[in-house]
Amino acid sequence: MKYLVAVLVCVVLAEGIVKIPLQKHKSMREALREKGIELPYQDPALKYQADEFTSADMYINNYADTTYYGAISIGTPPQSFQVLFDTGSANLWVDSVLCNTQACNAHTKFNPQQSSTYSAKGQSFYLPYGAGSLYGVFGYDTVNVAGIVINNQEIGLSTNEPGQNFVVAKFDGILGLSYPSISAGGETPVMDNMMSHNMLDADIFAFYLSRGGQQGSVLSFGEVDSSLYQGQIYWTPVTSETYWQIGVQGFQINGHETGLCSQGCQAVVDTGTSMLTAPSQIMGSIMQAIGAQQSQYGQYMVDCSQINNLPTLSFVISGVSLPLPPSAYIVQNYQNGYQYCSVDITPTYLPSRNGQPLWIFGDVFLREYYSIYDRTNNRLGFASAV
């Protein structure tokens, strides 16, 4: 309790509210000092800063190395939701009381009638994802992300979530972090509102994704956390300001250039995709090099005893080779006392806009590399994760 008192008093002093001209009573600072509580000095002029820059780290949850999500709040008083932080989309939406499908009923729902700051926009939307889709309506409300408060943020309220994809999801919505050009309904993304209101020390955000189902994943806004990576940061330009898309100049297996990206490849860096997704025309060559066999369910499997002998896959990005060891792309599963090992790489059949083969660097890649998303310079940074 003493720490709570200290914080509250500190705020009061910083606001310059307490003024005790006479010495009949001890100051709040003196009284607390006698109790062993020392208040740090705070400049009273802080209250006059208009656009106060900030940065914030927030711990996000890791569910089975497949989903990374965390808490935000919407409305006044705040209603709390778990959202997937997704660099592969641009919209913010949450489950709402306007929806009664099975997927919505399995999650926390936003009630706009219980928020004094909510206003309706009167526009509906449809959002398709790689897995699952939804219908909804747009509105405006106060949103708190990592302690950063955005007024009049456009939010999507789900009205219909067909199918089973979102039923078992660990999150109540998705917060998109890609470029506004792919935002449904022209909605202004959360990051863009932070930028336009000068809320951040720097117009960047960064992800550290924990491994092995362990907790400790971190999403940072406005700063880079140097304790979460080692070595230097390698930067590469964004090739399309839609998704976080970058160029790949080479693809190597055990250090040998395959030529599979000799004419250039593209990659979308996507925290909302759990696997590494390879171009369909390259998939067969990769599985052959790994020595994987396809199961009756279409999943590629390897002998668990051979994991340490499997090849390292490397991507050449802006002249730097970024390796992916077998421990990153092989998943060890246990079922009924039986161990089996699957390859966490899946094919995609989507061509990129310039016709080059398209990869998706999902969580399989991003657990190996601390990733920094720089909106000021439209570039992506990678450094070896600790």
Of the residues 65, 86, 203, 374, only one is catalytic, namely: 86
pLDDT of residue 116: 98
For the chain, what are the domain ranges?
Answer: 2-48, 58-208, 226-385
Whether residue 363 lies in the annotated active site: no
Rounded CA separation 320/234 (Å): 8
End-to-end C-alpha distance for the chain, whole angstroms: 35
Whether residue 86 lies in the annotated active site: yes
3 state SS for the chain: CHHHHHHHHHHHHHCCCCCCCCCCCCCHHHHHHHCCCCCCCCCHHHHHCCCCCECEEEEEEEECCCEEEEEEEECCCCEEEEEEEECCCCCEEECECCCCCHHHHCCCCECHHHCCCCEEEEEEEEEECCCCEEEEEEEEEEEEECCEEEEEEEEEEEEECCCCCCCCCCCCEEEECCCHHHCHHHCCCHHHHHHHCCCECCCEEEEECCCCCCCCEEEEECCCCHHHEEEEEEEEEEEEECCEEEEECEEEECCEECCCCCCCEEEEECCCCCCEEEEHHHHHHHHHHHCCEECCCCCEEECHHHHHHCCCEEEEECCEEEEECHHHHEEEEEECCEEEEEECEEEECCCCCCCCCEEEECHHHHCCEEEEEECCCCEEEEEEEC
pLDDT digits (tens, 9 = 90+) for 135-147: 999 999 999 999 9
The CATH code belonging to domain 58-208 is 2.40.70.10
pLDDT of residue 381: 98
pLDDT digits (tens, 9 = 90+) for 74-122: 999 999 999 999 999 999 999 999 999 999 999 999 999 999 999 999 8
Q: Which of 190, 218, 167 is closest to 62 using CA atoms?
A: 218
Same fold, 58-208 and 226-385: yes
**In the CATH scheme, what is the homologous superfamily, with its name and number, of domain 226-385?**
Acid Proteases (2.40.70.10)
Mean pLDDT of the chain: 87
Of the residues 65, 203, 270, 363, only one is catalytic, namely: 270
Segments in the chain below pLDDT 70: 1-53
